[in-house]
Amino acid sequence: MSLEFENSIMQEQFLELVESGNITALKEFLDDQNISDVASLVDEYPEHEQQIIDNLTIHRAASTFKILDLPTQKRVMRDLPPAKIAELLNALSPDDRVDFLEGLPSSIVREWIKLLSPEERKITLSLFGYPENSVGRLMTPDYVYVFEKDSVTDVLNTIRRVGKNSETIDVIYVINDQGELLDDIRIREFILSDPLQKVSELMDERRVIALNAYDDQEKAYEAFKMNNRVALPVVSNSNKLLGIVTIDDVLWVASEEFSEDIQKIGGTEALNEPYLQIPFFKLIKKRIGWLIILFLSEMLTATAMAYFSDEIAKAVVLSIFVPLIMSSGGNSGSQASTLIIQAMAVGEVNVADWWRVIRREVFSGLTLGGILGCIGFLRIFIWHILMHHHIIGDLYGPHWMLIGLTVGFSLVGVVLWGTLSGSMLPIVLKRLGADPAVSSAPFVATLVDVTGLVIYFSFAFVFMKGVLL
């Protein structure tokens, strides 16, 4: 049975229960569904979203709310009564609560924070104290910690007492009396050990993999990828254990970062909202900035064309290949820029690798340019043969060889310059502390368009001076 067919049956059952008004049956139906399926019902039937949330247990409602996109979350909260809003906010884990609240106007945040219990309010405000996009905003204080002097029996009693409210109990964290992180031990070690054995006897000398609360969230993604963990501890600058970050939160961050990078590569600001739900004028504002910059940059192309207008007038045939030269350089630059940005995003390339990148792109640019240059020269040669046999009109005249060499060598130069520009610009931006994704493909293409004309007419001077120029 296909997934689409199963979803269709589920939706039909849901609508029948809603129409019947049988609340008990609706609650049982919703309790039997996966959280992801309940979330799809909220997305599919926004007119029934309040009814769905109201008929879920509060913990399932919080789990469903967590995986909805921000505009849907806002809409759900808008339709709920204050008592239900308070219940739902208190049921959310601290990191998910902060993630939701930071996307709201400050006036609403102030009002809704008042709905939290004193303990949850204190935790939420402490998380808001960390910089935006820092690991501190992702962490949750719900974890299990023990002391090095505890016995295995003490540890198991602690797990029974506080483990139910913890985000995960796969790993137990060991601290000293000052709250400093000493070690992290998997729960299986305690289960398989003698009840009277001390925690200090189970500790090893290996360095504990921990995140700093002020680290960028992208660093958390790299740490999870390299260490194969479901959770990592978060510490202060003085190594005090503050909380943990779990893999599900990091995956959400990775997804958001990927979306932002793709949008920036395309030449827009990050939307931070679903495309179909972002207000029209806000979408225009996100796009117009780069378009103006690119438009002004392209004016340099017109300036370059005007500078070489005398040469174009003397050899009109040169203008035929201007689009070819410009597009080839822009395409090669866009390719290189996209490859390097992606490699930097996944940690394959960093700023220190600039020399390795530039060496690789020099050979790549020469090879790719050589291939395109040969194709360009062959095109002119074949055209000349057809002209010679009067199959088509004479276009290049007796100097076809010089034109072919100009186009061929220009393609090598332009493609080489394009690959070097496209590969180096993201690295330079990263070195300056900027986001490499802003060196978008359109920007690189525009840069290479202007310089490509200079390269093209420089080769034209070399091969045609005294003949056509």
Domain boundaries, given as residue ranges, for the chain:
3-129, 145-246, 280-464
Q: CATH says 3-129 is which class?
A: mainly alpha
pLDDT, the chain, mean: 81
Look up tokens 């792109």; give the residue: 361
CB 158 within 8 A of CB 151: no
Alpha-carbon Rg of the chain, whole angstroms?
31
Helix (H) or strand (E) holding 146: strand 145-147
Model pLDDT, residue 393: 46
Query: The CATH number of 145-246 is which of 3.90.1010.10, 3.10.580.10, 3.30.470.20, 3.40.50.410?
Result: 3.10.580.10
More confident residue, 174 or 17: 174
The Cα 402–Cα 321 span in angstroms is: 13
* Per-residue DSSP letter, 17: H
Topology adopted by domain 280-464: Tetracycline Repressor; domain 2 (1.10.357)
Share of the chain above pLDDT 90, in %: 8
Structure tokens belonging to residue 117 = 């219990």
pTM of the entire predicted model: 0.57
- Which strands, in side-by-side order, build the sheet including 171-175? 145-147, 171-175, 181-186
Buried b (16+ CB within 10 A) or exposed e, 304-342: beeebeebbeebebbeebbebbbebbbbbbbbbbbbbbb
- Rounded to an integer, what distance in angstroms lies between the CA atom of residue 14 and that of residue 39? 13
pLDDT band per the 50, 70, 90 thresholds, residue 367: very high
Please determine, for residue 446, whether its predicted confidence score (pLDDT) is greater than 70: yes
Mean pLDDT within 250-278: 66
Q: Show the CA angle centred on residue 297, arms to residues 295 and 300, nearest 5°.
A: 115
Structure tokens at 430: 């990263």
Residue 153: predicted pLDDT: 92
Helices (H), 67-140: 70-79, 82-91, 94-101, 106-113, 118-128, 135-138
Name 424's Cβ contacts closer than 8 Å, sequence gap at least 6: 354, 357, 358, 361
